[in-house]
């Protein structure tokens, strides 16, 4: 009977670590709005540090493979058209505008992009992934968003 009790304790420890990590991440995200870009970069770095030390592991198998494939096709098409320059950085608003244009097209009932004949949602997702990569890499020199503080 003692062995099952130890197993329960291990589960409780794991659960409490996950809750503690989630609380740390939540604190960083929901703290007062940052005053400048340096504070934003510091917040992103704190989230990454917390996630790296967490017992929570990425569940990449939960990402739909067909969606990844479509985004990969969009990126391949974009590389043929424009080259592979996204990692050099582009202003956030340019990426955001492109994503919102594709989302607006989807909202108006359009599923495929007229130029590439690929899903407009995959185009939007690619732009959002670029923005996420910029944030995670601390590329704040491209952040030209207007941050509204109440």
pLDDT, one tens digit per residue, over 35-92 is 555 666 666 667 767 666 666 778 889 999 999 999 999 999 999 998 888 888 888 9
Domain-wise residue ranges, the chain: 1-57, 62-150
| Crossing angle (nearest 10°) for helices 2-30 and 37-52 | 170
Is the per-residue pLDDT at 23 higher than 60? Answer: no
- Listed in sequence order, the residues at least 6 apart from 73 whose beta carbon sits closer than 8 Å to its beta carbon are 118, 122
Whether the CB-CB separation of 74 and 118 falls below 8 Å is answered with yes
pTM recorded for the entire structure: 0.64
Report pLDDT for 149.
Answer: 55
Nearest to 124 by CA among 97, 103, 94: 103
DSSP collapsed to 3 states, 99-110: HHHHHHHHHCCC
Q: Each residue of 123-138: pLDDT tens digit?
A: 999 999 999 999 888 8
């Amino acid at each position: 009977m003692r062995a099952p009790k130890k197993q329960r304790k291990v589960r409780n420890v794991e659960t409490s670590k996950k809750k503690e990590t989630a609380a740390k991440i939540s604190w960083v995200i929901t703290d007062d709005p940052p005053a400048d870009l340096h504070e934003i970069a510091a917040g992103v770095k704190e989230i990454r540090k917390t996630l790296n030390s967490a017992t929570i592991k990425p569940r990449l198998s939960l990402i739909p493979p067909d969606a990844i494939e479509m985004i990969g096709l969009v990126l391949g098409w974009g590389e043929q058209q424009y080259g592979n320059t996204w990692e050099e950085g582009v202003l956030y608003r340019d990426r955001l505008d492109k994503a919102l244009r594709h989302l607006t097209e989807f909202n108006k009932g359009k599923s495929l992009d007229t130029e590439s004949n690929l899903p407009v949602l995959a185009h939007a997702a690619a732009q959002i992934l670029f923005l996420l990569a910029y944030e995670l890499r601390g590329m704040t020199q491209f952040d030209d968003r207007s941050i509204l503080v109440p």
